[in-house]
Structure 1
């Protein structure tokens, strides 16, 4: 879990062809409050391993379908569905059709959707709501146009309001006695990892700080969140790396700033979780 060693312009679409697999990604950070990142991608064979984000993931699929697991339950995003994946909850993703999928994603911070709605989103991340789906599509169109930030803010306000209505209604019906949060020990380890994303923390040190046996700590965390502590920490580091790359910083600099040993270490984990290398992701940025 610890660190392995010590030591707004024009939009570009990057197309990568590897064997029979075609990957297209486009990513940027618009000047719209609450929007952390916009990410458009077309993957034919690539599958995401289990990972987490520290922000909300608002996803629509324009072609094909995505199959994913969220907190050990299988879900899917066919056409017409809006998927909302909450922060800090592990999930993966893979094509559900032979020709892959084309998706558009907006990552939102908690100023738009509060952490109190996470449980309701876990219960049902896929929303079949034609009006919401249309509004999310309109939001992406506005986010893609330079100079339309006010329109994007307005459309985002309508989208966030409808998402909150869905989640609050579900939360009101939810049995709070069946709350899915992990045990206290797992939650305390997650808080420790969140506080030391860059510097990291060794398992022995974490066990000492939390007064638990190392093996019990790993089992408790994995059981509560469906992901090992080191996978969680790597996901957090890659999430930070994405934002720094969108700021235009070089991959080598980003590696050092996010807790990776070197650029090769960053590249290995980044490509595994995002589907392309940090350099190519940076070139895709708007």
Structure 2
């Protein structure tokens, strides 16, 4: 551990698991952000508090947390010793899209069997040559998550018509690396720039520039785990230079890109 943060991150090469992330944070606070992946985590120590879709939650060591893609959330320590967590990031299609709503409503699960299965899977993922065992354990975990979330599913209300905010998010997603000026976005969407900003912030609980930065950090961490040198990642992920990347990456993950890339 250096200072207040220790992390290990890697891509395990297991279908359905994009990234494994182990971290010990003493004082780190995640800003509001979204992911394009599912976040499945357990705590080994401490207490984690977080807001998901404007609702406050907390989790303890005995609980499993599943955060759905595209839903804004943050996170912060809630105990003097901070928290130690083990996380799996799962591609959006690893779980059915109709489970995003239930996971938003009930992200925390008290299920000792599921917790133990996740702990065993993490242990397996750290052992080279045990890919088949990891795949088998992961399949049982996905099945149990689906049962949890479908158990209390309510009829899905009609989705509201797409609005300006959704159109802007699509634009930003299509231009994550190259970006686009606000005036161009307003022209393409036939909207006043300030109205565009307010509509997006109201819909997604974070301003469009912060959403775009979070997407670029996601791109950067994928490149780092794929073996790109930290010095080359900034431009590939849409940041102005390495110091620009480092500032936002450290704010999001508590460590620099070089430390993130060099932990495994």
TM-score range, shorter chain: over 0.9
C-alpha separation between the residues in 1 aligned to 2:161 and 2:233?
32
C-alpha separation between the residues in 1 aligned to 2:210 and 2:93?
26
Q: CA deviation at 1:115?
A: 2.6
C-alpha separation between the residues in 2 aligned to 1:24 and 1:165?
34
Q: CA deviation at 1:70?
A: 0.8
Listed as ranges, the matches of 1:1-286 within 5 Å are 15-17=1-3, 22-171=4-153, 173-177=154-158, 184-284=163-263, 286=264
SS in 2 for 1:48: strand
Runs of 4+ in 1 over 6 A off after TM superposition: none
Q: CA deviation at 1:175?
A: 4.9
Computed over aligned residues only, the root mean square deviation of the Cα atoms, in angstroms, reads: 1.4
C-alpha separation between the residues in 2 aligned to 1:228 and 1:282?
28
Q: CA deviation at 1:110?
A: 2.4
* Structure 2 residues without counterparts, runs of 5 or longer: none
SS in 2 for 1:176: coil
TM-score by length of 2: 0.96
The 3 A distance-change label for structure 1 pair 182 and 281 is farther
Higher relative contact order (CA 8 A, sep 6+): 1
C-alpha separation between the residues in 1 aligned to 2:151 and 2:201?
30
* Structure 1 residues without counterparts, runs of 5 or longer: 1-14
Give the count of matched residue pairs.
264
SS in 1 for 2:18: strand
SS in 2 for 1:16: coil
C-alpha separation between the residues in 2 aligned to 1:224 and 1:268?
27
Q: CA deviation at 1:38?
A: 0.3
TM-score by length of 1: 0.89
C-alpha separation between the residues in 1 aligned to 2:237 and 2:65?
28
Per-residue CA distance 1:116-173 (angstroms, 9 max, x = gap): 32122111111111211111111111111111111111111111111112222333x2
Q: CA deviation at 1:262?
A: 0.5
Per-residue CA distance 1:227-285 (angstroms, 9 max, x = gap): 1101111001001101111122112211010100110000000000011000011111x
Counterpart for residue 3 of structure 1: none
